[in-house]
Structure 1
Amino acid sequence: MQRKAYVPGAAALLVALVAGLTGCTSGGGDDGSAPDAKANGAPASAAPPGKYRTLPEPCGSVGRSTLRDLLPGVLTLPRDQQQKVLRGVPAVTYDTDRRAACSWKGQAPDSSHQLRVDFERVVSYDPAVSDDSRAQEVFAKKQAATSVPVVPRPDADADATLSPGATTDLEAQAGKAGEAGGNAEESQAPEAPEGSGQPSGDASPGGSAEGADGSPSPNGSTTGLEPRVLEGLGNAAFIDDVLDRAGSTAQRRTVSVVFRTSNVIVTVVYAEQPAPAAEVPDSKELQEKAQSVARRLAELLDE
């Protein structure tokens, strides 16, 4: 029987190939896959991500029946115009998973009402700082931009476990109470022009609850309705109430409710502007309605 010739070079090549394959698979998982890059680069003590990765669709976050109650002027419109108003106007944002907002406006013979809801998902780019902790910082800046007193919370650390449209008048107020401290890449509401009836950014919200001596102010607000911290809404919440002269005689009242749930901050702004010579908008009614919307949005986030 004729034997095949032994080729040393071919044997050496086979050994090299086997060694190369062994080197390629070493260090991988049980299935031979390459290791996760984070396993080698991320610190073992990296802060956990926030609870929320997306945001609700804002224009669909408030029910039609609620909108009809908040915007009484809508009921006087023809059906097709009613539907247009109730659909709302979405805000222009660069990333709807990071920032999303919608506004509605209803005009009645004796007054006009506006509603705006704003969702902001806060993300920390520092691996040592959690999304919740960063959101807590942003929320504190929003509160500091209002007349709401800042009350230290001893359980603050525990909280960490836990289509383009036109801008509206409310965006100026939302820029103060709902957008202070936002990220640079997120859309910012323009400031209200002079004479629009909106308070300036550096002025304290005049006429929002009590006079300098602590007595009820002439705007009709009483003790218990002043700008304050709210309990039982998200991880932290506050309400602000601003009464501002919108024209020669009419006075516009704007109520803002801001709350934080994990790494999402929600702002509800509800405003009423009566016709000239009409009564001053009722603080209690506006506050109750704004809080009702905020609580429904908190439930929506938990669903």
Structure 2
Amino acid sequence: MAYASGAVLIAALAAGCSSGTGTGDAADDSKPGATATSAAPPGKYATLPEACRSIAPATLKDLLPGSAELPEAQQEKVFDGSPAVTYDTDRRAGCRWKAEAPDGARSLFVDFERVVSYDPSVSDDDRAREVYAKEETAADLPSSSLLPDSTPTASDTPSGSASGKPDEGADGSTEPADGDSTDGSAAEDLKPRVLDTLGDSAFLDDQLTRAGSTAQHRTVSVVFRTSNVIVTIEYTAQPALSTEVPDSKELQEKAQALGRKLVDRFSE
């Protein structure tokens, strides 16, 4: 009988050790405490594209005009980009490109963030909505209070730069940026705003920065969410001459065009 009891105990222990998946490769994104019937649905995207390979060379050549005049070997180096430091490329990935020309420099930064909810009652998409909403609020857009399909009026547009925020010079003075308007539609079209035709949610910011007597540089940021991924594009131009002001319209159009291409890439 003692032998039989020992055999039963060994069999029970063996059965306990073999229960569960037995693979040891459960996803790190698993929501703690989740069950098949209670867990909120996971996000659409489980991985991210390689950031430095996410933009075609032809597009980079258009966004970085100085690269077109470089020797082929140097062009390839520019187009390779510099990957952002990250500890988990399935959760976050980024890349930066820069090219210089006699008339100035252009740089581009792209960041992909895959949002995961560890609350079993909150879906990855809902958590991504929360993260995106905080970023939009932090941008302090002058049109934040408008619905995406609303048309801003002249009264909604502060005088000053296309960003809707005055451009401050080294002496503390302010003045409208080149290509901006204080009398109507041009400023309305170019000011920071919510975008209703890019991904699930999107906004655009436009900042003109003056640093003492050095050349001004303008950075146009486009941030959009597609399911549980948030994409940030930062496109910067800095003319060689301090008297020149980067063209807001051109930068905004190119940044939005890149955003549409990246949305299509995620839809593939």
TM-score, normalized by the shorter chain, greater than 0.5: yes
2:176 to 217, 221, 231: 217
1:144 to 116, 120, 137: 137
Q: What is the distance in 2 between the residues matched to 1:218 and 1:16?
A: 86
Contact 1:112 1:273 in 2 (8 A): yes
Q: What is the distance in 2 between the residues matched to 1:254 and 1:211?
A: 13
Aligned: 1:237 with 2:202: yes
Q: What is the distance in 2 between the residues matched to 1:279 and 1:100?
A: 34
Q: What is the distance in 1 between the residues matched to 2:79 and 2:222?
A: 21
Q: For each residue in 1:127-155, what CA deviation from the matched residue of structure 2 results, as whole angstroms up to 9, or x when unmatched?
A: 1111111111111111111132434879x
Structure 1 residues 278, 264: CA separation in 2 closer, same or farther (over 3 Å shift)? same
Q: What is the distance in 1 between the residues matched to 2:165 and 2:117?
A: 40
Q: What is the distance in 2 between the residues matched to 1:76 and 1:288?
A: 23
Alignment of 1:1-303 (within 5 A): 34=19, 42-43=34-35, 44-148=37-141, 149-151=143-145, 207-210=161-164, 217-221=176-180, 222=186, 223-248=188-213, 250-303=215-268
Secondary structure in 1 aligned to 2:139? Answer: coil
Q: What is the distance in 1 between the residues matched to 2:94 and 2:111?
A: 4
Q: What is the distance in 1 between the residues matched to 2:147 and 2:76?
A: 44
Contact 1:123 1:131 in 2 (8 A): yes
Paired residues, what number?
232
Contact 1:211 1:217 in 2 (8 A): no
The RMSD of aligned alpha carbons is 3.0
Contact 2:95 2:109 in 1 (8 A): yes
Q: What is the distance in 2 between the residues matched to 1:294 and 1:132?
A: 19
Contact 1:122 1:263 in 2 (8 A): yes
Q: What is the distance in 2 between the residues matched to 1:123 and 1:153?
A: 27
Give the TM-score normalised by structure 1. Answer: 0.68
**Structure 1 residues not aligned, in runs of 5+:** 1-8, 155-205
Contact 2:163 2:205 in 1 (8 A): no
Structure 1 residues 211, 120: CA separation in 2 closer, same or farther (over 3 Å shift)? closer
Q: Report percent identity of matched pairs.
A: 57
Contact 2:47 2:90 in 1 (8 A): yes
Q: What is the distance in 2 between the residues matched to 1:65 and 1:262?
A: 28
Structure 1 position 230, deviation (Å): 0.5
Q: For each residue in 1:22-44, what CA deviation from the matched residue of structure 2 results, as whole angstroms up to 9, or x when unmatched?
A: 9987xx9xxxx845699xx5353
Q: For each residue in 1:90-118, what CA deviation from the matched residue of structure 2 results, as whole angstroms up to 9, or x when unmatched?
A: 01101000110000001010110000110
Q: For each residue in 1:158-198, what CA deviation from the matched residue of structure 2 results, as whole angstroms up to 9, or x when unmatched?
A: xxxxxxxxxxxxxxxxxxxxxxxxxxxxxxxxxxxxxxxxx
Secondary structure in 2 aligned to 1:145? Answer: helix
Q: What is the distance in 1 between the residues matched to 2:45 and 2:208?
A: 35
**Structure 2 residues not aligned, in runs of 5+:** 149-159, 167-174, 181-185
Q: What is the distance in 1 between the residues matched to 2:256 and 2:65?
A: 18
Query: For the pair shown, which has the larger CA radius of gyration, 1 or 2?
Result: 1
Contact 2:224 2:231 in 1 (8 A): yes
Which letter does structure 2 place at the counterpart of 1:52? Y
Which letter does structure 2 place at the counterpart of 1:237? A
Structure 1 position 74, deviation (Å): 1.0
Q: What is the distance in 2 between the residues matched to 1:68 and 1:23?
A: 64
Give the TM-score normalised by structure 2. Answer: 0.76
